[in-house]
Amino acid sequence: MKMEQLAAIRRDLHQIPELGFHEYKTQAYILNHLQQHPENRLEIEKWKTGLFVKVKGTAPEKILAYRADMDGLSIQEQTGYAFSSVHPDKMHACGHDFHMTIALGIIDYFVHHPVKQDLLFLFQPAEEGPGGAEPMLESDIMKKWEPTMITALHIAPELPVGTIGTKSGLLFANTSELVIELEGKGGHAAYPHLAEDMVVAASSLVTQMQSIVARNVDPLDSAVITIGTITGGSAQNIIAQEAKLEGTIRTLSPSSMDEVRKRIEAMVQGLEIAYHCKGKVSYPAAYHQVYNSSDLVEDFMQFVSENGLAEVIRSKEAMTGEDFGYMLKKYPGFMFWLGVDSPYGLHHAKLQPKEEALETAVRVMTVYLSARAQ
């Protein structure tokens, strides 16, 4: 597929971002593109708003898989693109339009250049939330087409085009959403002694939680607790009866995630006593760490470097989260960063990845899979 075709597909997909498990237009667009290929080359199975696409091998003994996520984010786009999102308050601000385009480019290549092994492409919904990888893994289709190995990529705004980055072992952190709901006794602002102020309670809790990383996590490990939103109260002269805190927890080990959660829950229990209130802690979505298979990723890095397909750098661990970690927990494989050279980062309303990176990724993966699928 030529660069102009890749750019056109990316721009089409960029205009129709949809949230997790609502990727109806996206699924239809991908299906329409795939149906242009000969029917005897592909097997396609729908799964919720996602897709399984198998490119048939000539004499298959195993299946090599590649995952591309599909969903967008709840962000109002500010790129100024002529092909900006047509869906208000929704944007492909994490590169999933790139990820899907690259997968379609790889599929197009192998439809016309058969290899011995079957190649399985997973177009996965709901990566940003509530999480599509786990239920997709449990589907009957996945059980029918279990891969021998699985790979994926993620755009990296800070890396130049023509560069990929990855490493053995831990690449992305364990992540968990965090929601804390507090309920006390509201009242008149002039009579605070007759009420239990949940704005004060919430403020106290935010301050207390900052001690968890400093005093309950091994200093040789790493963790982050971020409270992104606090809501509470209804008017300036009414003491708030309720407050809600929403945030995220990120750790480099599963054990630290368990410890951080236990400490937060203990603090909320203490808050209930101190502020005469009720507290509820929940974790709406949590993602397992992305842990690359050392032998496979080292082979990949060496192959790409020796064949001059891209500049390869050895990355450091990142506190970003990715539900691809669940797939790597079940199957050998790896994920890597793809340099796209954007002045704005992931989840930013002005993210502008350079489209030349599409060609880099398709070249890397078609040559690599051609060699490993014989």
Question: Which positions are annotated as active-site residues?
Answer: 69, 128
- Rounded Cα gap, residues 63 and 106, in angstroms: 15
The Cβ of residue 99 has, within 10 Å, a number of other Cβ atoms equal to: 26
* 162 within 8 A of 156, measured Cβ to Cβ: no
Tokens matching residue 282: 């929940």
3-state secondary structure string across 285-301:
CEECCEEECHHHHHHHH
Tokens matching residue 151: 């790979």
Tokens matching residue 265: 């829950």
Number of C-alpha atoms within 13 angstroms, CB side, residue 370? 16
CA-CA distances (angstroms) from residue 60 to 56, 116, 120, 164, 303? 8, 6, 12, 29, 23
Q: With H, G, I as helix, E, B as strand and everything else as coil, classify residue 364.
A: helix
* Beta pairing partners, 163: 311
- Rounded Cα gap, residues 19 and 3, in angstroms: 28
User: DSSP characters for 243-257?
Assistant: EEEEEEEEESSHHHH
The Cβ of residue 211 has, within 10 Å, a number of other Cβ atoms equal to: 12
- Rounded Cα gap, residues 226 and 112, in angstroms: 48
